[in-house]
Amino acid sequence: MNIAIIGLGLIGGSIAKAFKANTNHTVFAANRSVETVNKAIEVGAIDAALDDEKLKSCELIVIALYPERTIEWLQNNAHLISKDAIITDTCGVKKIVCEPCEEIAKQHGLTFIGAHPMAGIEKSGFDYSKPDMFNNASLILVPADDIPEQKVQQLDGMMKSVGFGKTVITTPEEHDRMIAFTSQLAHVVSSAYVQLPCALNHSGFSAGSYRDMTRVATLNEDMWTELFMENSDMLYQQIDELIDTLKTYSELIRTKNADNLHELLKRGRLRKAAVDGKVLR
């Protein structure tokens, strides 16, 4: 099978490396930096640079770009893609991407299935990509209602061949609501936490808790600004809910209400156990 990867950043580069490490497929790639494409060829992450003729032969096209550029690339290249191919993306927001990409695909008789690999690290760029990035990771698929089940299963199988474990099928709206909570809110909190004045003097006073809380503050501000803005309605609601909860903690601590604070902390401990599938009392 011929596979096209559009964008050789952390995720695109890792997908390319994973296909080369785990399958016999031929992998072509395009990237705005020719140097990155050449580096990918040198390290064996891809077989060759993608061009129009190669794109026509590809059966799987993975667009690993930011949301707006994903839509733009598909609009500009849809006429070159085989009707038998499956097109997917890796964007961290889905409603704003899936609707226009599905419409473009329909206009050209193509199959687009939105996807979001639930894997990554706090670094960005091809240099940090790795072939085992997706081992046992969750893959979220967001197919339109009229996509044949066989196409969904085909994409699922191709992605599981590079290490993905659990697959979640959902709607763009539910994806964006849950990602606002599980991913985007965590990045907001980490970024805000590390900007508190005490962070400048943390050395010698910090251990695992501080490292865990600040790990994803080492983010790519270009990408995350776009993701936050394109999911703003979902994200600001999660932020406001967290602020309300923090105000409750603050008030109990300020007023030295130990009994209610103890109960609130216990509730948090039990909630953590419940979401992790543990049974505690």
pLDDT, tens digit (0-9, with 9 covering 90-100), for 247-264: 999 999 999 999 999 999
3-class DSSP state of 60: strand
pLDDT digits (tens), the chain, 281 positions: 999 999 999 999 999 999 999 999 999 999 999 999 999 999 999 999 999 999 999 999 999 999 999 999 999 999 999 999 999 999 999 999 999 999 999 999 999 999 999 998 878 899 999 999 999 999 999 999 999 999 999 999 999 999 999 999 999 999 999 999 999 999 999 999 999 999 999 999 989 999 999 999 998 899 999 999 999 999 999 999 999 999 999 999 999 999 999 999 999 999 999 998 876 55
Would you kindly state where each structural domain of the chain is located, as residue ranges? 2-170, 175-275
Both tokens of residue 139?
């893959």
Q: pTM for the full model?
A: 0.88
Task: Give the angle 42-132-141 at the CA atoms, nearest 5°.
Answer: 110
Q: Distance between CA atoms of 120 and 269, rounded to whole angstroms?
A: 27
- 167 forms beta bridges with 139
30: exposed, middle or buried (Cβ count in 10 Å: 0-12, 13-18, 19+): buried
Same CATH fold assignment for domains 2-170 and 175-275: no
pLDDT, tens digit (0-9, with 9 covering 90-100), for 37-88: 999 999 999 999 999 999 999 999 999 999 999 999 999 999 999 999 999 9
pLDDT value at residue 278: 73
- 115 forms beta bridges with 141
pLDDT value at residue 120: 83
First to last CA, the chain: 53
Fold of domain 175-275: 6-phosphogluconate dehydrogenase C-terminal fold (1.10.3660)
pLDDT value at residue 279: 64
Q: What are phi and psi of 242, to 5 degrees?
A: -65, -40
Place of tokens 């080369």: 20
Q: What architecture does CATH give domain 2-170?
A: 3-Layer(aba) Sandwich (3.40)
